[in-house]
């Protein structure tokens, strides 16, 4: 314990003088004073997290117009905005697209990230440098990645269609046909997510002791057997955390979809995040109430995913 947390000598002396037993050290002024260091961040959390979230809930429960948004005095509407949103024909597809976008992104990011992590775990010249270079897509501003992919997938002059033309495939309207828009944004999102999966899984692989592999080599296990019966089970906690973090990040994805397709054409790549943005900011006449309602539904989904993440972290902490 730190010296300052001890009961001060004067207090002990006084206790002795009256003959009373020494008081239990319940109050620890030293430990409470640590909150001086935490006060700024606590105030910040209230102002910059709690307040915006509270405003968002309030927005979703009132009937806002542009006028009442500026001047105040919007009537209380209860759950009307939620009803509006749930009854909206966009709702079903938006939820479906969010699910498909998230599931497909996670599956491909994780599988490719795992394959690359296994490959780069081997020691060969330049392996460290190349592994660091693969981080680039993850560090680029999302608007840069999204506009680059927009151009790669351009119907008339994009490289992807040019390459498909070489093997005799007709050009595909990647971003402008409802059939392909969701696939296109998933491809871009997977590309951005691979490096993160690679790095985290790689650090997990590093933590597996080499002796385990040596023992299995003596037993004559093949590479594939080694992966399925050693690497994969031992990596499970790290994999769980990677997938759950990926889930939380992917639910939030907005920039890529908005920049590449704006959720279109005809809503074919609209997710809950882009829908919420379009309602609040993407139209000339903002619908703050429904926008906030969609946002709160998204938060609920993210929190469920988040609690799963914390459970995984906690379990891992117990090991």
Partner 1 sequence: MRAATRRSWWKTGVGLALTGLMLFPVYWMVNVSFTRDRDMRASPPHLFPADGTWDGYRAVLDQQLPYLGTSFLVGLGTVALTVALAAPAGYALAKLQPPGGPVLSFVLLIAQMIPGIIMAMGFYAGYLQLGVLNTLPGLILADSTLAVPFGVLIFTAFMSGIPDELTQAALVDGAGRLRTFWSVVLPVSRNSIVTVSLFAFLWSWSDFVYASTLAGGGEHQPITLGIYHYIGNNNQQWNAIMATAVVASVPAAVLLVLAQRYVSTGVTAGAVKD
Contacting partner 1 within 117-136 (CB under 8 A):
119-120, 122-127, 130, 132-136
- Give dist(CA 270, CA 287) in Å, integer: 17
- 143 or 215: CB nearest partner 1: 143
Q: Is the peptide bond before 198 cis (omega within 30 degrees of 0)?
A: no
57 or 221: CB nearest partner 1: 57
Name the one range near partner 1 by CB under 8 A: 54-62, 84-92, 97-105, 218-226.
54-62
Part of the chain binding partner 1 (CB under 8 A), chosen from 13-21, 91-99, 218-226, 250-258: 250-258
Q: Is 313 in the site for partner 1 (CB under 8 A)?
A: yes
| Residue 48 interacts with partner 1 (CB under 8 A): yes or no | yes
Please say whether the beta carbons of 188 and 260 come within 8 A. Answer: yes
Nearer CB in complex with partner 1: 20/41: 41
Which residue in the set 254, 267, 269, 290 belongs to the binding site for partner 1 (CB under 8 A)? 254
Among residue numbers 151 through 170, which ones bind partner 1 (CB under 8 A)?
151-152, 156-159, 162, 165-166
Site size for partner 1 (CB under 8 A): 105
* 73 touches partner 1 (CB under 8 A): no
Taking the least distance from each CB to partner 1, the nearer of 108 and 277 is: 277
Min separation Cβ 104 and partner 1, Å: 19
Q: Three-state DSSP class for 216?
A: helix
Rounded to 5 degrees, what angle do the CA atoms 227, 229, 235 make? 70
C-alpha dihedral sign at 93, 283, 290, 250: positive
Q: Say how far apart CA 291 and CA 279 lie, in whole Å.
A: 5
Return left, alpha or beta for 304; rule: phi > 0 is left, psi -120 to 50 is alpha, else beta: alpha
Among 181, 196, 261, 287, binds partner 1 (CB under 8 A): 196
State the nearest-atom distance from the C-beta of 19 to partner 1, in Å: 31
**Binders in 15-44 for partner 1, by CB under 8 A:** 28, 30-38, 40-42, 44
- Contact call for residue 49 and partner 1 (CB under 8 A): yes
Q: Does 82 bind partner 1 (CB under 8 A)?
A: no
35 vs 224, beta carbon nearer partner 1 = 35
Interaction of residue 228 with partner 1, rule CB under 8 A: no
State yes or no: residue 281 binds partner 1 (CB under 8 A): yes
Q: Is 241 in the site for partner 1 (CB under 8 A)?
A: yes
* Nearest residue to 194 via CA among 254, 127, 138, 240: 138
Q: How far lies 266's CA from each of 94, 179, 185, 263, in Å?
A: 12, 11, 15, 8
Phi first, then psi: give them for residue 173, nearest 5 degrees: -85, 80
The nearer residue to partner 1, 171 or 178, going by C-beta atoms, is 171
Contacts of 197 (CB under 8 A, 6+ apart): 109, 110, 112, 113, 114, 117, 242, 246
CB of 226 to partner 1, least distance (A): 17
The answer to whether residue 110 forms part of the interface with partner 1 (CB under 8 A) is: no
For 245-296, give the DSSP string: HHHHHHHH--HHHHHHHTT-STTTT--HHHHHHIIIIISSS--HHHHHHHHH
Choose, by CB under 8 A, the member of 106, 175, 185, 199 that binds partner 1. 199
Angle at 85 between CA 180 and CA 310, to 5 degrees: 80
């Amino acid at each position: 314990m730190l010296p300052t947390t001890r009961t001060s000598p004067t207090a002990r002396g006084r206790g002795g003088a009256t003959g009373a037993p020494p008081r239990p050290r319940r109050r620890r002024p030293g430990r409470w004073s640590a909150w001086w260091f935490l006060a700024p961040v606590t105030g910040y959390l209230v102002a910059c997290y709690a307040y915006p979230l509270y405003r968002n809930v309030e927005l979703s429960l009132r009937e806002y117009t542009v006028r009442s948004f500026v001047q105040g005095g919007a009537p209380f509407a209860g759950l009307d905005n939620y009803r509006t949103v749930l009854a909206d024909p966009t709702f079903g597809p938006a939820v479906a697209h969010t699910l498909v976008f998230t599931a497909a992104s996670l599956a491909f990011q994780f599988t490719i990230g795992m394959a690359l992590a296994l490959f780069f775990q081997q020691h060969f010249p330049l392996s460290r440098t190349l592994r660091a270079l693969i981080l680039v897509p993850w560090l680029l501003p999302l608007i840069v990645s999204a506009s680059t992919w927009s151009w790669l997938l351009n119907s008339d002059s994009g490289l992807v269609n040019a390459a498909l033309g070489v093997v005799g495939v007709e050009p595909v309207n990647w971003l402008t046909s409802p059939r392909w828009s969701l696939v296109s944004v998933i491809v871009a999102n997977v590309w951005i997510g691979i490096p993160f999966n690679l790095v985290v899984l790689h650090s997990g692989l590093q933590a597996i002791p080499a002796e385990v592999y040596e023992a299995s080599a003596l037993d004559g296990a093949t590479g594939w057997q080694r992966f399925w019966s050693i690497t994969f089970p031992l990596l499970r906690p790290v994999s769980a955390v990677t997938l759950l973090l990926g889930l939380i990040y992917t639910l939030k994805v907005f920039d890529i979809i908005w920049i590449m397709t704006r959720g279109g054409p005809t809503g074919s790549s609209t997710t809950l995040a882009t829908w919420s943005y379009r309602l609040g900011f993407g139209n000339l006449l903002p619908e703050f109430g429904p926008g906030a309602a969609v946002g709160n539904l998204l938060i609920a989904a993210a929190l469920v995913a988040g609690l799963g993440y914390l459970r995984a972290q906690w379990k891992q902490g117990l090991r």
